Amino acid sequence: MTVQDKLSALRGLMQREGLAAYIVPSTDPHASEYMASHWTEVCWLTSFTGEAGTAVVTLDKALLWTDSRYYLQAGIELEGTTVELMRESDIDCPKIEEWLVSEAANSQQPMANGYTVGVNPEMWSANGYKKLKEQLEEAGIGLKSIDLIRPLWKEGRPEIPTHRFFEFDTRYAGESVHSKLQRMRAKLREKNADAMIVSALDEIAWLLNIRGNDVEYNPVVISYLVLEQDKCTLFVQPQKVTREVGAYLRANDIEVRGYEDVFAKLGELKGTVLYDGAKVNEALYEALGAEVKKVNAQSPILLAKSHKNETELVGIRRAMEQDAVALTRFFRWLESDDTRARMADGKVTEWDLMEQLHDYRMMGKHFIEESFGTIAGYRGNGAIVHYAATKETADFVYPHDMLLLDSGGQYLDGTTDITRTVWLGGDIPAQAKRDYTYVLKGHLMLGHIRWPRGTRGNQIDALAKQYMWQAGITYGHGTGHGVGHFLSCHEGPQNIRTDMNPTVLEAGQICSDEPGIYRTGKWGIRTENLVAVTPVESTPEATTEDEWLTWETLTLFPYDTTLIDRELLTEQERQWINEYHAEVYRRVSPLLNAEEAEWLKQKTLPLPLPHRAGSK
């Protein structure tokens, strides 16, 4: 079927159901950042392969909303499909609900039941569905829950993954499933709730100490879970459960039922049920009985999962050492005479760099897979924040100019995420040095502050931007995101960004520290470490009895000192860099051979004082 064939078939079903429009989002029933190919409905319908996009189909129009990361890609992939690109990042682009209201007001299509919009409730969070319904109803537009893609997409649709999953041993998790279940049941009692629905895959994996490989880059298991005071039920495809895992679940009083059986189970629940409306999909919400008291609140698992225990923190430190070994070997390879000669001959691409780094990570103890798709952005490609090279589209990399490398690994010990920007050769423009140093100064300042308990991420975000702001520079992405433990590289509820987030930063949480500067067509510069919140003693000058917190830097790899404008550094910043580099060498060099250790030693030499006019 062509895109036009699919749109025509969808419109036939819409007419049968009395729908004037149908919305298809890029998501899955679990509100996942990454999803299994079974749920790539936007791609199937429109041919757009980007990760973020929402299709809207009416009886005579088809449109796709996506953001600026995908304008070029969408323009190419939608050509000849009759699907119109809506550039949602543009200031004059209407939101989907605004466009629908306008379309309904101008519609010449008489509808027997008025103007009604359809959506698959499994693909909408309960909160998102409620908000959309309220917005449409204000304009007299109805909203109907119905799945119109499933009856159309039969041939060639990938099955829901049936990969077997495994127990995540307590020696890595640091807490037994029994202990976690008891803690969460206590949280339910605090809310006077009898049961809780859990649909977020990383929350289920954390709670039950299980891991899988159903979703790329995320070691999760496609499933649902219902936790009650006297039982716990995991809803998963039965073929995914091995004999060993089945015994493990039974030993912890966890019942296993079929994946789709969750809807029947929800209809059986009584009393008060807790659900996280930001994660639990509308179909699950609608399956709850009318007599059930529904409490919409943030999942208590979310915050508990963000607080890493000591075993998890020890593990992430080990993972960082393994990651540093891989990075040392990679950048040493990148600087080798042989590699530089091949780059000069046009024989090395961004894709080659990604594969080489993967190979070095594969050598690490307990490495499983990348934690996200590696971003290897050479020159102007580095200015595309979420740049994703493919084997076919990757640019050649030459032994000069700027390279931004953002990568990470999933280890049994923990999850890593690091960005380093390096200069590959040639004369360094003064602007490049200034940009790099502004980024580094903000990165260092954020990574060395202390704050009183109760501080939120948005209250410290400006610290990473202060130097570039003074130069009239800023960036649009968040400064820091939460990171899981052998789970999702991006997790909440904590973050560091300008948006208001009520979650305070607390001991045990891990965040990224990643300011950046992006100059279109020239270069992208980002410096990223992972840092963990840790208690710190109050200073003698303190005027309050508040508990104070700071960061422990987890990432272990040197900065590119050739890009630093030392005239812009303070003495304290120079000292911070030297102390960090000394720690990198101390921790990582014992894991390297003599040649590798010597390379790292040269990269971590103390940064000298700047040469200023009149100085000796």
Residues 107 and 172 in one domain: no
Please give the C-alpha separations between residue 296 and each of 203, 293, 300, in angstroms, as whole numbers. Answer: 17, 10, 12
Residue at 339: amino acid letter: T
Q: Cα-Cα-Cα-Cα dihedral of 488, 494, 499, 502, to 10°? A: 140
What is the per-residue pLDDT for 30? 97
What is the per-residue pLDDT for 514? 97
What is the per-residue pLDDT for 113? 57
Residue at 28: amino acid letter: D
> What is the C-alpha R_g of the chain?
26
DSSP 501-563: --PBP-TT-EEEE--EEEETTTEEEE-BEEEEEEEEPPPTT--S---EEEEEE-------GGG
Q: 184-193: per-residue pLDDT in tens?
A: 999 999 999 9
Residues 587 and 496 in one domain: yes
Least Cα distance to 510 among 533, 540, 491 occurs for 533
| Alpha carbon 395 to chain centroid, angstroms | 25
Domain boundary among 306, 322, 354: 306
Q: Give a yes or no: residue 611 inside a domain.
A: no
What is the per-residue pLDDT for 612? 57
Residues 369 and 293 in one domain: no
Q: Give a yes or no: residue 259 inside a domain.
A: yes
What is the per-residue pLDDT for 68? 75
User: What CATH number corresponds to the domain at position 493?
Assistant: 3.90.230.10
* Low-confidence stretches of the chain (pLDDT beneath 70): 69, 108-113, 611-616
Residues 63 and 140 in one domain: yes
What pTM, to 2 d.p., does this model score?
0.93
User: What CATH number corresponds to the domain at position 184?
Assistant: 3.40.350.10
Q: Could you tell me which residues come within 8 angstroms of residue 423 by beta carbon, excluding any fewer than 6 positions away?
A: 401, 402, 403, 432, 560, 562, 563
Domain containing 118 equals 3-145
Q: Give a yes or no: residue 153 inside a domain.
A: no
Domain boundary among 270, 288, 306: 306
Q: Give a yes or no: residue 577 inside a domain.
A: yes
Residues 261 and 318 in one domain: no
Count structural domains, the chain: 3
Tokens coding 532: 């963990």
What is the per-residue pLDDT for 404? 98
